[in-house]
Structure 1
Amino acid sequence: MLTSLNPLSKLVVCCIWLVAAVLVFDPRFQLAGILAPALALIVLHRTSPLVLLVLMVPFALFGFGFLTTSLLFRQESDFAMRMAGESVLASPEFSAGVTLFLRALACGMISLFFALTTDPELFVRALMRHAGLPPRIGYSLFAAMQLVPDLAGEAQQMRLARAMKSGRRPRRIPGPFELMSLVIPLLAFAIRRAGRTAIAMEARGLGTAGPRTIMNAPSFHGRDGVFVVVALGVLGGCGVAVVGGF
């Protein structure tokens, strides 16, 4: 259901939610920014909660850095001297740190909502058709999307060839010296691929300005309007609840 929406509709909604998460300094609002996208992914997109937890680990570590910095390294905070004298949970430094921690999680969850429900190729096509992205840049992004998996496949082929030559089985995880030995061949492969891509783009007239037909670009439908209204309504409801002290 979420993947059928226009990527630009989701982009606008996610940007508004991110701006709100940055501007509203309230832990209850940050919790709403975490739970609302998470519930949408679990219920509507059938995303496993375990997958979400794993993907949120980097954002949690980033937010934990905010929490420890707020507690221990604020210039005006005498937290280290008052640790034995009063509860840590009651200190204003802890409250600010928790809010920053939740803000990092909220921004991460909103970003995951967009990334997990959006096809990169359709997103680029939508930008070219509706947002004026130059086709030269758009097709360069297409080439980069195809280059990344090809680089991984080329690296695996090189490792297998070297293993066959030496008569040993390749390691499951390459060591640092093996990785360094793959840098130059992969760089040469990428340069050759980039040259061929540039020639192909010139042959297709991407270097000239003018109208161009963009095939398979997503259009806007009624469900996009419903999604935007519902998402902004939830955001407004959360803001009213925070202001009202509920």
Structure 2
Amino acid sequence: MLKARHPLAILFVCIVALVASILAFNALFQIALIALVCVALVAFNRTSPLVLGALMLPFALFGFGFLTTSVFFRQESDFAVKMAGEALLQSSGFSAGLVLFFRAIACGMVSAFFALTTDPGAFVRALMVSAKLPPRIGYSLFAAMQLVPDLAAEAQQMRIAHAMKAGRPPRRIPGPVQVFRLVIPLLAYAVRRAGRTAIALEARGLSPKGPRTVLNAPRFRRGDGVFVIIGLAAIGLCGVTLL
């Protein structure tokens, strides 16, 4: 259901949620926003809770750094200390750090919502049609999206070649030495691929002027407006925790 919505509508709701999370220095608001996004992804996007937990782990570690810094090095701004003093917890340093911890997870959850519900190709096409993104930038993004999986496949081929040369099976996780040996060949491959892509775009007459047809570009529908209204209302309901 969520993947059928217009990418720019999803982007607008996510930006509003991120701005609200940054401006609201309140742990309950961050928790409510996290719960809202989790319910939306699990109920309407069929996303596994385990996948959400794995995606939020880096943001939780990042927020834990904020928490420990706030507790052990209490150098918050006057506004942060004042707002944290109004929380239920008595320690202003712990309260401020807790808000920052949940804020990092909330921002990560909103970012995951956009990534899990938006097709990258449809997003670029929507930017080109609705946001007037220059064709050179749009097709460069398309080329980059095609380069990433090819780069991973090329790295795997190089690892297999190195393992065959050494007479042993390839390691599941490459070590630091092997990663260093892959950097320069992969960089050369990426530069060579980028040059070929640029020549191909020029050969096909890619220019910033003139009309251009974009196939399979998403169009705004009535459901997109309903999604924006419901999304903004849900974020507004999270703001009840600020009262």
Q: TM-score, normalised by structure 2?
A: 0.90
AA in 1 matched with 2:51: V
Q: CA deviation at 1:175?
A: 2.0
* Identical pairs, percent: 66
- Inter-partner Cα distance in structure 2 for 1:211 and 1:154: 37
- Write the deviation string for residues 74-104 of structure 1: whole angstroms up to 9, x where unpaired: 1489xxxxxxxxxxx5212222111111111
Q: CA deviation at 1:54?
A: 1.1
Matches within 5 A, 1:30-69: 30-69=30-69
Unpaired segments ≥5 residues, structure 1: 78-88
Q: Which residue of 1 aligns with 2:107?
A: 107
| Secondary structure in structure 1 of the residue aligned to 2:237 | helix
Q: CA deviation at 1:118?
A: 0.7
AA in 1 matched with 2:22: V
| Secondary structure in structure 2 of the residue aligned to 1:105 | helix
User: Aligned pair count?
Assistant: 233
Q: Which residue of 2 aligns with 1:202?
A: 202
- Once the two structures are overlaid, the 10-residue window that deviates more, 41-50 or 165-174, is 165-174
Matches within 5 A, 1:136-215: 136-215=136-215
- Write the deviation string for residues 24-60 of structure 1: whole angstroms up to 9, x where unpaired: 1111111111011110000001111111111101111
- Inter-partner Cα distance in structure 2 for 1:218 and 1:44: 20
Identify if the C-alpha distance between structure 1 residues 178 and 113 changes in structure 2 by more than 3 Å, giving closer, same or farther. Answer: same
| Secondary structure in structure 1 of the residue aligned to 2:68 | helix
Q: Is the 8 A contact 2:70 2:76 kept in 1?
A: no
- Inter-partner Cα distance in structure 1 for 2:225 and 2:5: 10
The RMSD of aligned alpha carbons is 1.8
Kindly name which structure, 1 or 2, has the bigger radius of gyration based on alpha carbons. 1
Unpaired segments ≥5 residues, structure 2: 78-88
Identify if the C-alpha distance between structure 1 residues 204 and 100 changes in structure 2 by more than 3 Å, giving closer, same or farther. Answer: same
- Inter-partner Cα distance in structure 2 for 1:175 and 1:38: 35
- Once the two structures are overlaid, the 10-residue window that deviates more, 185-194 or 2-11, is 185-194
- Inter-partner Cα distance in structure 2 for 1:115 and 1:76: 32
Q: TM-score, normalised by structure 1?
A: 0.89
Q: Is the 8 A contact 2:63 2:100 kept in 1?
A: yes
